[in-house]
A and B are shown apart, each in its own frame.
Chain A
Amino acid sequence: MSLLHFQLTPAGENALMLYFDQRIDPQISALVQQACVLIRNELTDDLIDLLPSYASVLILFNPLSTDLHRVSAQLQHSLKHLQSGNSQTGNTIELPVYYSEESGPDLALIAKTKNISITEVIQRHQALSYRVYAIGFAPGFAYLGEVDPLLQMPRLATPRAKVPRGAVAIADRQTAVYPAQSPGGWNLIGLCPTRMFNPDSTPVMPVAVGDEVRFVAIDKAEFLRLGGEIPGDER
């Protein structure tokens, strides 16, 4: 089974990367979830943390209780139990977005690069539903895929020092909502008023890996009514 092909390589002094075929695919995503369970069971107390993503898992181990060779040998053995199977889909969540040049400073660039109108960029972004493939980068940052090939954009050559909370963004065939102000290199197309990470609420995030997300356009008045803020808009 070609799906079960995997590679284990060092990433740092106490880190190993487990790579599956490097593509965005619900079945690979399901393998990642499965691998996490196997790794936790195998490494137990030697494990410090696991960072799963689309087609990889970063495995952090305690370098004072084990080493790279021991961990590799253990995982080569236990990952033989991986089985390809169907991916399950979780809940469907709708996220409102205020798309505009005011809230999405890269809309015009995408439209120009792809030779389509800004309106079409906005329509195409809403036309699909997206799977939550990974959560990371920052708390509540959900990596959603896949974006319409016509909206595919490379990351910025130099990341922005400040991307505002709620920014809806595209990089390659991924889309996401920035849960907090942070540096970032994705192309910004709008703002979402929904809090993507709230440590005081249960659950702390509106989405989980495996969920489906749909974006729905709202106007500025609705955006503000839902608690959204335009960055740098002093009121």
Chain B
Amino acid sequence: MSGFTVIAPGVLSLLQDNGRFSQGALGLTSGGPMDAPSAQWANLLLGNQHNATLIECSVGGLQMRAETNSYIAVTGATLPLSINGNTAELWTVHKIRQGDVIELGMVSKGLRAYLAVAGGFNVAPQFGSTATVLREGIGGLNGNKLQPGDSLPAATVNSLPRRHLPVHHQVQFNRTLTLRLVEGYQAQSFNSTERQRFYLHSYTVTPQADRMGYKLSGSAIRCQQTQLLSEGICYGAVQIPPDGQPIVLLNDRQTLGGYPKIGSVLSLDCALLAQAAAGTEVYFTPISPEQAHNALCLAKVRTDALTSQMVNL
């Protein structure tokens, strides 16, 4: 077989593309990389198509053997990367020869690393995407997380530019996060005192934080509206259950839900939250839909500009 063999999957390694869209009416969630910008950089470094399938390795511990010549890049969380026991740089394209062993150690900053290979892993999409959603048993290899012995097909690639993203453009990990939030949904049903409380106080990331959502703890906030028909939930929606503790709903969120929501966190900030460990301090700050749109367009322009600045080694 041409490709890679999983020796050890580590804590949680999942095949992901950009996500599963247009399937919301079946109740299928989007999935996709929790830190989409880092995942995107792994593919950009290798010159892959933007939707190429890669591995999201949470917490670390992934070991693979190359069954072919290829190139890899690892981005996202900071962890020790080695090839045949030799330390290798993150955010950098590395040549891989058949038989090489790639090893990701445990994360020291951030939570999720992205390992992409030249051309992407060649797995069949399900419902239009390869994104693995464990709760649904959909995507990846048979809807499962990576297991020891899994074969991950990939093309043989013998020549590719060795590129590197300068450190000051890589994802930054902060002890305190400020999450920009577009108010919406039931925002008007939280009175001004509750909204002030929500924006003035810090919240802490709890251990109940996974690909579905991040539960925070802090000042409880109350919604005047308690009865609500279930309705569509977008990426980053901040749900306030009756206990008043916010939950930021992320990639593997439920598609419909009936708890009140105050608005939705900007996707760029969701990606930073997804790299935050339990105990991280979080603030919310409101932004207008226009500011959000501006931030997204700016991020796109910056990424496009940076793509041309990547250093050829």
Contacts and interface: CB of A to CB of B under 8 A. Distances in A.
Contact of A12 (B27, B135, B235, B241): B235
Interface stretch (B38-46, B169-177, B288-296): B288-296
B263 interface: yes
Interface stretch (A79-87, A130-138, A218-226): A130-138
A96 B31 CA distance: 32
Chain B interface SS verdict (over half): loop
Contacts of B243: 157-158
A50 interface: yes
**B interface residue count range (under 10 / 10 to 19 / 20 to 34 / 35 or more):** 35 or more
Nearest to A55: B229
A12 B258 contact: no
Interface in A173-191: 174, 179-183, 185
Nearest to B227: A172
Nearest to B300: A64
B25 A52 contact: yes
B312 interface: no
Nearest to B23: A49
A73 to B, nearest CB: 14
Interface stretch (B56-64, B159-167, B249-257): B249-257
B184 A56 contact: no
Most chain A beta carbons < 10 A, residue from B143, B226, B231, B261: B231
Contact of B296 (A15, A36, A64, A159): A64
Interface stretch (A102-110, A119-127, A139-147): A139-147
B200 to A, nearest CB: 22
Contacts of B226: 154
B127 A199 contact: yes
B273 interface: no
Interface string B217-251: 00000000011111111111100011100000000
A54 interface: yes
Contact of A137 (B126, B229, B256): B256
A41 interface: no
Contacts of B293: 13, 63, 67-68
B273 to A, nearest CB: 14
B241 A172 contact: no
Contacts of A57: 232
A155 interface: yes
A141 B63 CA distance: 37
Interface in B172-187: 182-185
A12 B236 contact: yes
Contacts of A68: 289-290, 293
Most chain A beta carbons < 10 A, residue from B22, B25, B29, B236: B25
A17 B182 CA distance: 13
Given A13-B289, A136-B254, A137-B255, A51 B138 contact: no
Contacts of A51: 24-25, 231-233, 255-256
A46 to B, nearest CB: 13
A197 B27 contact: yes
Interface in B264-313: 264, 266-267, 289-290, 292-293, 296-297, 300
Contact of A10 (B25, B233, B289): B289
A17 B135 contact: no
Nearest to A51: B232
Contacts of B289: 10, 13, 68
B221 to A, nearest CB: 14
B264 A15 contact: yes
18 contacts: A10-B184, A11-B185, A23-B229, A48-B22, A49-B22, A51-B24, A53-B256, A56-B232, A58-B24, A63-B293, A135-B25, A136-B25, A136-B232, A138-B29, A139-B138, A155-B258, A180-B135, A197-B27
Given A17-B231, A182-B254, 7 more contacts: A12-B237, A13-B264, A22-B229, A136-B24, A141-B256, A154-B226, A172-B227
